[in-house]
Copies of this chain bind each other. A is one copy, B any other.
Amino acid sequence: MDHHPDLDMLGRTELFQGVSADALRVIHESATRRQVVAGEVVFRQGDPADALYIVAFGRLRASQTTADGQQVIIRYIGPGEVAGYATLSRGEAHPGTVAAVDDSRLLGWTRAAITQLMERHPVVAMNAVAMLGARYHEMQVRLRELSTEKVERRIAHTLLRLAERAGRRSKLGIEIAFPLTRQDLAEMSGTTLHTVSRTLSGWENTGIVDCGRRRVVLCKPQALVAIAEEAA
């Protein structure tokens, strides 16, 4: 028998890297599998946090919604990354909604299972600490950007972060590897879709980006870096 291809994948995830092959097999067997299609909701803000998922394939989006319906995108979740961190950390409810932006395949564990795994395998707990520390740090950076930078710089930073985490080399430059509307960029940058549209149009005129419907390509990343870092 059976070296399931998921085992390699699991061994390289942020949560399970460094776990022994034997333990990985047990972990894998205790997982539930779930397929979601683009647009499908994995869990909703306020749902009880009783499961945690790892993306095996595809991409999810975590967002928070305000009482009056405005959205903020917290992050995109790609292969090997965790959705539903509240399940790790004593949170009772999911703080945000997670939905698929592409057809995706997930592995899931119950709260009881994941708690037991952390207790039994210190490396898993350490990985969880490292992961949450990294996310906390990323949020600090975004908070600082949102507090101190003007819109154009924020949009530049947003695009550069997306390219970093989900960029794909293409003919014209680095392409963001999943569908992304102006509204999405606005919800990541703390502005409106109008301002994003105007800004991208400006950049398109100078050849910095090339974009279309739900698609953005960074043609001159270093020009974007210059905008993101500029003193003003």
Contacts and interface: CB of A to CB of B under 8 A. Distances in A.
Interface of A: 64, 66-68, 70, 72, 74, 85-86, 88-91, 95-96, 115, 118-119, 122, 125-126, 128-130, 132-137, 139-144, 146-148, 187, 190, 229, 231
A126 B187 CA distance: 32
A150 to B, nearest CB: 12
Interface centre among A74, A85, A140 (most CB of B within 10 A): A140
A130 B64 CA distance: 20
Contact of A132 (B70, B122, B136): B136
Given A132-B136, A133-B88, A143 B143 contact: yes
A133 B85 CA distance: 7
Copies in the complex: 2
B118 A148 contact: no
Looking at chain A's contact residues, the main secondary structure is helix
Contacts of A115: 126
A134 B125 CA distance: 16
B140 A64 contact: yes
Nearest to A131: B89
Contacts of A148: 66, 70, 72
